[in-house]
Structure 1
Amino acid sequence: MRYWEFAENGQEVAINRARLPRHWYNYLWNENYVALVSQLAQGYSLSQDKMGNRIDLVAKRMLFIRDKNTKEYWSANVMPPDPLNFKAIHGLGYTEINYQRNEIGSSLRIFVPRTERLEIWSLTLENLSSQTKELQLFPFVDSLVDGPEKAQNYYLSKGYFDSKNDVIIIDSECAFDAVERSYNWLGSSQKPVHYDSRQSAFIGYGSFQAPDVLYFGQGQDSDCEMEKPILALETHISLKPNQSKTVHFFVGSALSKQEIHEIKAKYFTTDNINYEFEKLKDSIKDELGQNSFSTNNSDLDSFMNYWLKRQISLGLQWARVRHNGYRDLMQDIAAFSFINPKIALRHFKRVLAYQYSDGHAPRTFL
């Protein structure tokens, strides 16, 4: 049985198996931020300035759900993989993970808005039982802001809760866009009940898929200094039988706390988020142009008309993501000139600015 198929006239890929041969990543990006999101929401993210300086933000994503009464817990992103009641959708600019467990239906949508260094997680929960459900939600991000976990590493960032903005922050030195500090944060559309910024407090003797806070039943309100930092919150939600509610979570890198405040003001309502989501889809549709490809093979048509174009679009902005190869960028810009000449010309001028005055081009800028 094939574990995927094109849907929505080829503009979505529907995945019906959680445990694939490997993670199947969807690339979500704007000019400032790129996120890899698999069928289980795994993958990393980073921000980049115009000179190729980077802030590595996400290393792992988890969104835990805990039933306060039964003490059972699971994840909306279906880690570890569950073969039952699972469906993931990779769309143009978004990924959605649908799951059902313990009489709770969940739908987790992740997308990157058009301009900000940010990814937005929208979690919709539905109570499929005849009893009221009291649920605890634990969004968690393992971050690379201060590097990976090592037994003898020196961690120089600070983790703390910003009560003014109601977000958890990893405050770190950086060389990025002419500033020296970055504020890497996780927020919620609901007021947090607890928070954690220290891995040893949140994970403890557990694991990334079963942290200690789920065993003990609540976040530890941990600050972090000279230890491995993470981003985690706890919020609560009550669902009557057949009731559904949506909660939004925000993961991003900001260059000031005022920037966080402005993003909250812009996005912390469902209407504003859905407006941005629709605008994002419209902008991607416009970017991919009107050229069409038609054969007697519908899968080939879907690949050529949407996904190959989208892949080239990633390349003209982010090259191969791991670095900004000058040749890679230019060859993808040349390919995209057949799809959308106006956008290709803008990126051609952008990349040409990195060329030396004697005509030589850098191999990469990073």
Structure 2
Amino acid sequence: MKEYGYFRNQGSEFVITTPNTPRHWYNYLYNDSYITFTSQVGYGESLIQGHLGRRILLADSRQVYILDTESSQYWTANGLPVKKEYQDFSCVHGIGYTEIFSQYMGISSSFRIFVPQDANEEIWSIKVKNTSNRIRTIKVIPYAKTETDGVYRPQGYNVDTAGFRPELNGVATRSYAKIQSENFQEVSAYFLADREVSGYDTRKNAFIGTYGNEQEPDALAMGGCTGSCCIGEKICLALEHTVTLKPGEEAQFHYALGVALASGELEEAARRNNARTVEQRLMDVREQYAAQEKGVTIRTPDESLNCLINFWTKHQTNMGSRWARVRHNGYRDMVSDSECLASFNPQLAWERFKRALTFQYSNGYAPRTWLDGEIRDNNFADCAVWIPMAAASIIEELGDVKCLEESVPFNDGSEASVYEHVKRAVDFLWDFRGIHGLVKLWGGDWNDMMNQAGLEGKGSSVWLSLAWCRANERFGALALALDRKEDLFFSRLRGQEMKDIINETGWDGEYYIDAFNDQGEPLGSMSCREGKIYLIPQLWAVLAQVAEGERKQKIMDAVDKYLETDLGTLVSWPAYHSYVDTIGQMTQKPAGVHENGGVYLHPCCWKLAVDSMQKDNQKVQMGLQKILPFHHEYHKKYCEPYIMCNSYFTEETGYRLGTAGQTWRSATGAWLTKALFQYVLGLKAEIPGLRLEPCLPPDWKECSVTKEFREAVYNIRYTQTEDHGCNRIASVMVNGSLWTEPYLPCGSGMVYEVDVRLVK
């Protein structure tokens, strides 16, 4: 990690010290309707989202050119695409902002970007300073490649226009889009400055050139912006400021890049774009995230882990519960991330969860996603199963079962209580059965790529049946809390029936099968040529309390035997090497990538929870070290050290061994956070109160955690007395007195000092 950067400010910032990281290292910046990401050299995209996932892609490239008028040399404040020998380069990724620093030819610069909470825009702040010993005149030229007029296609039609708006100190476009309804409406992309400009461009062919590129824009070669308007050609957005600086003098400029959807929004954007307002809006962003993500703070001997968890994975969870995986509005992703969000902010999790419920069908089924103005099912079977688990987790943190009586609409406009939403989800899957009486696989369960195995409606998923058992048990806990005796009775009756079916038909002798396809063939069985064992049914057999007695240990022994590697735990083994049309796209992926025999970190976090439940301290420690991107004790990984990715590629990928899949857009951060808080540190929120059941890595002789729970604050300190890990609580002291009750005291406004001694 130190080769490329380091954490600072207790971990709230990560400083990247070179533009040449192994690949782009990203930061995501967002509000409820606008999202962008930027790498350490400013690379990234931005979009806005309206009703039912209708989207406008605002920009897919941003540059800040600096032109020295005396020498005609130019470079970029963001380090690329103009390649120069930049001095003092660094990029600071913070929670809600990114700032890039560099120096070239006696001019130091900084380029900061953030997304305010109150508009569909991003704010750029550019500062330049003359570090030479002579007067310098330079041009600062920020540029955005926009896609509001659509992605360029040779000889394609384009009817959009753009031009300069002097009253706004900027440029704006006129386009038409479906964003707030099924009807087209006029929208305007804008790029506005906080002071009068010396130049501008809105036509890409004028600024970049018909045959030019962003490394060598024609306008820069000619000395600056050309003053172009645009009618029916590819649009760009560029502004220019000419400034003369004495030695040591500096200047700062603020820009707003965004989309106006209604009359007056352009003018309002211009009014608020000034130095005082910009700094206040950034402060508002930082304060909002700090308030949303402060609910739990850990202090372990692993400082990098503290930085990662206390800031970055909580932030990743926050984003996922609102934006899912960004590509689309994945239902399971939002609901599951809301469950994890509850571990440190149950109030926000409840609001995000209720938003997701509005897309559920009134029969209990839940869609895969919503995008481009429509709800899309994609034949997925599992999305409803996450609803009961999220509901129970949030309610257990809040402690207010009356919340379950709140009325929330379904996607057809009819309404029911949250409790009824949960009940219908459980009932739907109970009735949605295939081979052996297991829940149908249909077009995919958690494994999106098993999309051909159950389309005929006969195939069934052992994993989804296990997940249903956990969801049903969670529903039963809510029924008990509300004294719904009949629901509780049938929950227990059905749960036992499904458990018996799984143990009878899903057991393969050494571990659990994953699924049966439409032809009745098992997937994840020793009888298979490839894909003999899958990880997640083994984990969920423990999480759902379906595996009992020796089977519980047997399946985890099988995981160790077949799936454990130095890089991490494989999600399946052996990988498929040719396409199997009775399974699906999983078998099209290269061996060792993602679901096809890769180290998929989301399930690895479930395994961390299971190892904690099994009280295996050594495996907890090993699992954490393998999951974390900055630990290389077992194997080197290549990805951002401050955020979690979805997977690591295995040795079957050859030169890509140890490289990461997608960062940020993954449930890994959310489930690592939940697994660490709830299982490793043992912060068990239940309706009666907060209970402790930790399973700590042996190396953590002492550690502590601060948790806000309901209206109290707990400062909990753990001490392990043995060298090889302790998994039994010997004593609990609360405010200096011995505490023997199962749940910690909880009084409004109280602060509790809790000391826990652990023994073998």
Q: Is TM more than 0.5 here?
A: yes
Residue of structure 2 equivalent to 1:49:
50
- Structure 1 range deviating more: 325-334 or 351-360: 351-360
Provide the secondary structure at the position in 2 that maps to 1:160: strand
Residue of structure 1 equivalent to 2:111:
108
Of residues 206, 209, 214, the one that matches 2:215 is 209
Contact 1:87 1:99 (C-alpha < 8 Å) held by counterparts: yes
Contact 2:79 2:86 (C-alpha < 8 Å) held by counterparts: no
**C-alpha distance in 1 between matches for 2:86 and 2:245:** 26
Of residues 272, 281, 286, the one that matches 2:291 is 286
Residue of structure 1 equivalent to 2:25:
24
Q: Is 1:261 the equivalent of 2:295? A: no
Contact 2:51 2:179 (C-alpha < 8 Å) held by counterparts: no
Q: Which runs of 4+ in 1 moved over 6 A?
A: none
The superposition leaves residues 258-293 of structure 1 with CA deviations (integer Å, 9 ceiling, x where unpaired) of 101112212x22111111111111111001023112
Q: How far is 1:150 from its partner?
A: 2.2
The superposition leaves residues 180-216 of structure 1 with CA deviations (integer Å, 9 ceiling, x where unpaired) of 1110011111212222111111111331122011100
**C-alpha distance in 1 between matches for 2:144 and 2:263:** 19
Would you tell me which structure has more helix in proportion to its own residues?
Answer: 2
Residue of structure 1 equivalent to 2:41:
40
* Structure 1, gaps ≥5 residues long: none
The superposition leaves residues 225-255 of structure 1 with CA deviations (integer Å, 9 ceiling, x where unpaired) of 2211111111212211111111111100111
Residue of structure 2 equivalent to 1:340:
345
Of residues 338, 347, 367, the one that matches 1:362 is 367
Residue of structure 2 equivalent to 1:10:
11
Contact 2:41 2:79 (C-alpha < 8 Å) held by counterparts: yes
Letter in 2 for 1:337: A
Residue of structure 2 equivalent to 1:187:
192
Q: How far is 1:304 from its partner?
A: 1.0
**C-alpha distance in 2 between matches for 1:298 and 1:89:** 19
Q: Is 1:165 the equivalent of 2:168? A: yes
Q: How far is 1:106 from its partner?
A: 0.5
**C-alpha distance in 2 between matches for 1:77 and 1:125:** 12
Contact 1:219 1:234 (C-alpha < 8 Å) held by counterparts: yes
What RMSD over aligned residues (CA atoms) do the two structures have, in Å?
1.4
Q: Is 1:89 the equivalent of 2:92? A: yes
Letter in 2 for 1:46: L
Of residues 237, 256, 260, the one that matches 1:231 is 237
Q: How far is 1:83 from its partner?
A: 5.8
**C-alpha distance in 1 between matches for 2:132 and 2:114:** 30
**C-alpha distance in 1 between matches for 2:110 and 2:263:** 30
Listed as ranges, the matches of 1:137-152 within 5 Å are: 137-152=140-155
Number of residue pairs matched by the alignment: 365
Letter in 1 for 2:138: L
Residue of structure 2 equivalent to 1:69:
70
Letter in 1 for 2:30: W
**C-alpha distance in 2 between matches for 1:346 and 1:115:** 18
- Structure 1 range deviating more: 37-46 or 161-170: 161-170
**C-alpha distance in 1 between matches for 2:134 and 2:80:** 26
Contact 1:32 1:115 (C-alpha < 8 Å) held by counterparts: no
Percent of aligned positions with the same letter in both sequences? 35
**C-alpha distance in 1 between matches for 2:66 and 2:255:** 14
Contact 1:183 1:257 (C-alpha < 8 Å) held by counterparts: no
Contact 1:170 1:185 (C-alpha < 8 Å) held by counterparts: yes
The superposition leaves residues 153-190 of structure 1 with CA deviations (integer Å, 9 ceiling, x where unpaired) of 22221111223323211211101124611100111112
- Structure 1 range deviating more: 224-233 or 173-182: 173-182
Contact 1:17 1:83 (C-alpha < 8 Å) held by counterparts: no
**C-alpha distance in 2 between matches for 1:43 and 1:14:** 18
Contact 1:187 1:251 (C-alpha < 8 Å) held by counterparts: yes
Residue of structure 1 equivalent to 2:205:
200
The superposition leaves residues 107-159 of structure 1 with CA deviations (integer Å, 9 ceiling, x where unpaired) of 11110001211101101111111211111111111111122222222222111
**C-alpha distance in 2 between matches for 1:278 and 1:163:** 29
Provide the secondary structure at the position in 1 that maps to 2:360: coil
The superposition leaves residues 42-88 of structure 1 with CA deviations (integer Å, 9 ceiling, x where unpaired) of 10000001321111001100010111112111111111354632011
Provide the secondary structure at the position in 2 that maps to 1:159: strand
Provide the secondary structure at the position in 2 that maps to 1:264: helix
Of residues 127, 130, 133, the one that matches 1:127 is 130
Q: Is 1:270 the equivalent of 2:275? A: yes
**C-alpha distance in 1 between matches for 2:232 and 2:277:** 38
Q: How far is 1:257 from its partner?
A: 5.1
Contact 1:19 1:83 (C-alpha < 8 Å) held by counterparts: no
Residue of structure 1 equivalent to 2:59:
58
**C-alpha distance in 1 between matches for 2:277 and 2:169:** 19
Provide the secondary structure at the position in 2 that maps to 1:85: strand
**C-alpha distance in 2 between matches for 1:153 and 1:25:** 32
- Structure 1 range deviating more: 80-89 or 299-308: 80-89
**C-alpha distance in 2 between matches for 1:195 and 1:30:** 29
Letter in 2 for 1:256: A
Contact 1:28 1:112 (C-alpha < 8 Å) held by counterparts: yes
**C-alpha distance in 1 between matches for 2:274 and 2:162:** 26
> Structure 1-normalised TM-score?
0.97
Contact 2:169 2:195 (C-alpha < 8 Å) held by counterparts: no
Contact 1:134 1:237 (C-alpha < 8 Å) held by counterparts: yes
Letter in 2 for 1:249: Y
Q: Is 1:155 the equivalent of 2:161? A: no
Letter in 2 for 1:245: A
Q: Is 1:245 the equivalent of 2:246? A: no
Of residues 292, 313, 318, the one that matches 2:318 is 313
**C-alpha distance in 2 between matches for 1:14 and 1:50:** 37
Would you tell me which structure has more strand in proportion to its own residues?
Answer: 1
* Structure 2, gaps ≥5 residues long: 372-760
- Structure 1 range deviating more: 90-99 or 229-238: 229-238
**C-alpha distance in 1 between matches for 2:365 and 2:295:** 35
**C-alpha distance in 2 between matches for 1:95 and 1:39:** 8
- Structure 1 range deviating more: 165-174 or 41-50: 165-174
**C-alpha distance in 1 between matches for 2:236 and 2:112:** 22
Provide the secondary structure at the position in 2 that maps to 1:9: helix
**C-alpha distance in 2 between matches for 1:84 and 1:191:** 30
Contact 1:62 1:75 (C-alpha < 8 Å) held by counterparts: yes
Contact 2:160 2:175 (C-alpha < 8 Å) held by counterparts: yes
**C-alpha distance in 2 between matches for 1:280 and 1:242:** 31
Letter in 2 for 1:320: R
Provide the secondary structure at the position in 2 that maps to 1:275: helix
Provide the secondary structure at the position in 1 that maps to 2:123: strand
**C-alpha distance in 2 between matches for 1:258 and 1:240:** 39
